[in-house]
Copies of this chain bind each other. A is one copy, B any other.
Amino acid sequence: MRVVVPFAAEAPKTRLADTLDADERESFAWAMLQDVLVSLRDAGREPTVLATAPIDVDVAVVVDDRPLTPAVNAVLDTASEPVAVVMADLALATPASVSRFLSTPGDVVLTPGRAGGTNAFVTRHSDFRVDYHGTSYLDHLTIAREVGASVFEFDSHRLATDVDERADLVEVLLHGEGRAREWLIEAGFELDISGGRVDVTRSG
């Protein structure tokens, strides 16, 4: 199985701009990428990063500066084996959750993200293609059915939690087990349970 991790190398995580400055967002995105790569490797896989620009990372890198949808579809177009695509901002990923995901049978296995995204998928069907625009999870269900693929929904809080905005940092502090959580703690973040809802706060 080919395992691909798309990564936006430039100006990542803009929706965290209320909480992190541009350099911090880049550094934090990098920590999340490392967590995903480590989880995949500890699960016995050899991931490739599909990056929008050259990056220096300890795994194979393919550079494709196009948007996510055509870049991933180019991978699918040329694949001669099953393909897994796992987003780089799944900071709660663990070897166990990744292993369970990659070993789930089905022509197409979809992991929904919050708000209709598709955080990870496996395709073992040569005609499946992606469309990440809008509520991609529903679109991917439709595409899979249209090509006659069996579809399985993979049910995981860890892999459903892509880290896009401030509220997601709460999840990283609560459940993260890798560098992204360490990054937040070193940057002074901690849980704030003083209000009615759990939030993050920053010291220093």
Give Cα A159–Cα B155 distance, bound, in whole angstroms: 9
In the complex, what distance in Å separates the CA atom of A134 from the CA atom of B198? 8
Q: CB-nearest residue of chain B relative to A193?
A: B134
Chain A interface residue count, Cβ-Cβ cutoff 8 angstroms: 26
Complex CA distance for A156 and B112, rounded to whole angstroms: 11
Nearest residue, chain B, Cβ from A170:
B115
CA distance A160 to B97 in the complex (A): 15
B residues within 8 A CB of A197? 115
Assess whether A175 is in contact with B135, with CB atoms less than 8 Å apart. Answer: no
Given contacts A134-B193, A193-B134, A193-B135, contact A112 B174 (CB under 8 A): yes
Task: List chain B residues, Cβ under 8 A from A156.
Answer: 155-157
Q: How far is the CB of A118 from chain B (nearest CB, A)?
A: 11
Which residue of A135, A137, A157, A160 has the most chain B CB atoms within 10 A of its CB atom? A157
Q: Which residues of B contact A160 (CB under 8 A)?
A: 157, 160
A116 with B170, Cβ < 8 A, contacts A193-B134, A193-B135, A198-B135 known: yes
Q: Which residues of B contact A185 (CB under 8 A)?
A: none
A20 at the interface (CB under 8 A from B): no
Judged by a CB distance under 8 angstroms, whether A171 is at the interface is yes
Asked whether A167 is an interface residue with its Cβ less than 8 Å from the other chain, the reply is yes
Interface members, chain A 174-195 (any B CB < 8 Å): 174-175, 191, 193
In the complex, besides A115-B171, A137-B174, 10 extra interface pairs with C-beta distance below 8 angstroms are: A112-B174, A114-B171, A115-B174, A116-B170, A116-B191, A116-B198, A134-B198, A135-B193, A155-B158, A157-B157
